[in-house]
């Protein structure tokens, strides 16, 4: 196994994957790094460097076979599997994620929502039930849950993570506006929407900074 691939590269992989899917939709089956660079906005050099972290998928004089590269990227991203998923916190955001069909299509299957609020517990949202957060450890083990999405308020995020990890969860998608601390074998992807919005706000005001 070769040297660890940098996060900068990894964060570009989903974008390659998406643009290749678009090409397939348009029935384009062959592409050079130069052509791809014009569509996706990275340099051709970067594209070739990025891909070569994982293997030589192209062919000199020809370029890349779109379908083959798409399939390779699917494998690299782990999208050739499916993942049982639960959502902690059945508020607006939890519901929105539960109802987004795109994730299911990519193999992320939301099995249940969990909440601490007695008024929510037992409710059905489309075909999903809201279960008692008390019972989550048992559920994770019995239903073979691999990914948990944290949509709780900020102050309940860490304790929720701890409980999930104790039950064996190895992947957490955290939407609570706080950083959570986990052991190194647990992977966390943080989505901090406030931080994202603040970056937009920064950009809108950049010119006005009196430096």
Partner DNA sequence: TAGATTGTTAATCGATTAACAATC
- Positions that interact with a second copy (CB under 8 A): 1-2, 10-11, 13-15, 17-18, 54-55, 76-79, 81, 83, 91-93, 95-97, 99-100, 102-103, 106, 108, 146-147, 170-173, 177-178, 187-189, 191-205, 209, 211
Q: Which of 38, 59, 81, 198 binds DNA (CB under 7 A)?
A: 59
Rounded to whole angstroms, the Cα distance separating 190 from 175 reads 6
DSSP 185: T
Burial class (CB in 10 A: 0-12, 13-18, 19+), 92: exposed
Cβ 123 to DNA shortest distance, Å: 44
Q: Is 202 in the site for DNA (CB under 7 A)?
A: no
89 is in an annotated binding site: yes
Smallest distance, a second copy to C-beta of residue 183, A: 14
Give whichever of 19 and 64 is closer to a second copy, judged by the CB atom. Answer: 19
For 79, phi then psi, to 5°, come to -90, 5
Told to check if 61 binds DNA by CB under 7 A, we report: yes
- Measured CA to CA, the distance from residue 97 to residue 129 in angstroms comes to 14
Please choose, from the candidates 126, 124, 122, 147, the residue with its C-alpha nearest in 3D space to the C-alpha of residue 135.
Answer: 122
Sites for DNA among residues 25-54 (CB under 7 A): 32-34, 42-46, 48-49, 51-52
Q: How do beta strands 30-31 and 108-115 pair?
A: unpaired
| Residue 58 binds which of a second copy, DNA, none (CB < 5-8 A, kind-dependent) | DNA
Give Cα 124 to chain centroid, integer Å. Answer: 25
Q: Are 191 and 174 in contact (CB under 8 A)?
A: yes
User: Which spans of this chain sit near DNA (rule: CB under 7 A)?
Assistant: 6-9, 32-34, 42-46, 48-49, 51-52, 56-64
Give binding residues for NAD(+) as ranges: 89-94
């Amino acid at each position: 196994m070769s040297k660890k691939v940098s996060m900068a590269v990894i964060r570009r992989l989903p974008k390659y994957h998406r643009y290749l899917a678009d090409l397939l939709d348009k029935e384009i089956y062959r592409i050079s790094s130069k052509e791809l660079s014009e569509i996706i906005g990275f340099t051709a050099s970067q594209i070739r460097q990025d891909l070569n972290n994982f293997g030589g998928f192209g062919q000199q004089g020809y370029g890349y076979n779109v379908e083959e590269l798409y399939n390779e990227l699917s494998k690299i991203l782990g999208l050739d599997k499916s993942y049982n998923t639960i959502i902690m916190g059945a508020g607006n955001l939890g519901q929105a994620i539960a109802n987004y069909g795109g994730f299911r299509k990519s193999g992320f299957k939301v099995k249940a929502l969990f909440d601490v609020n007695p008024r929510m517990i037992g409710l059905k949202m489309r075909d999903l039930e809201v279960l008692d957060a008390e019972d989550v450890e048992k559920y994770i083990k019995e239903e073979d849950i691999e990914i948990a999405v944290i949509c709780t308020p900020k102050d309940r995020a860490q304790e929720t993570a701890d409980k999930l990890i104790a039950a064996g969860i190895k992947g957490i998608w955290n939407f609570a506006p706080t950083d959570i601390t986990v052991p190194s074998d647990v992977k966390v992807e943080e989505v901090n929407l406030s931080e994202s919005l603040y970056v937009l706000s920064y950009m809108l005001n950049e010119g006005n900074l009196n430096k």
